[in-house]
Amino acid sequence: MEDRFIYHGSQQRVEKPEIRVSRFGKDFGVGFYCTIIKAQAIRWATRFPVTGFVSEFAYTQNPALKMKFFETMTEEWLDFIADCRHGKPHDYDIVEGPMANDTIFNYVEDFINGNISREAFWALAKFKRPTHQICFHTTEALATLTFRGCETYDTV
């Protein structure tokens, strides 16, 4: 199986990824988040007024792992994110698909809180730029990553 290159943007260089529990619910739950879109990783790395780092990894898919893939934003994707943000666990090693970016996040929150209907969510979400995330939820999943290097970015 061929390697794919993926990126992790944060406020530190990451050579050895680890799963960190956050106090906030994330799209796909607790895990180590990366993307295939380098510009998106740069945005993640520079969202705070400190030096940001984009760590690059080679990702070799392991067919023995349990994976969930969302090609696009679908009803199933929306329900999965709503469950994860409410803290409902899942048993996937790796989950990949579109990201509820800042704007979409607000729509997801409005949907979860009952402030907008499912139909209103889709009407608002359909014109947003493509995003991507891949989340590694287990130590076995992290073993599919090989560190390749890191670039530094200063916020503007």
Q: What is the pLDDT of residues 16-41, one digit of tens each?
A: 999 977 766 688 999 999 999 999 99
Reference 132, options 66, 72, 67, 82; nearest CA is 72
Q: Provide the percentage of residues in the chain whose pLDDT is more than 70.
A: 90
Token duo for residue 97: 């698909």
- The DSSP element (H or E) to which 96 belongs, if any, is strand 94-97
Average pLDDT over residues 38-63: 94
pLDDT of 105 > 80? The answer is no
Spell out the domain ranges in the chain. 4-153
| pLDDT computed for residue 156 by the predictor | 64
Q: Which residues of 23-53 are buried (b: 16+ CB within 10 A; e: fewer)?
A: eebbbbbebbbbbebeebbbbbbbeeeeebb
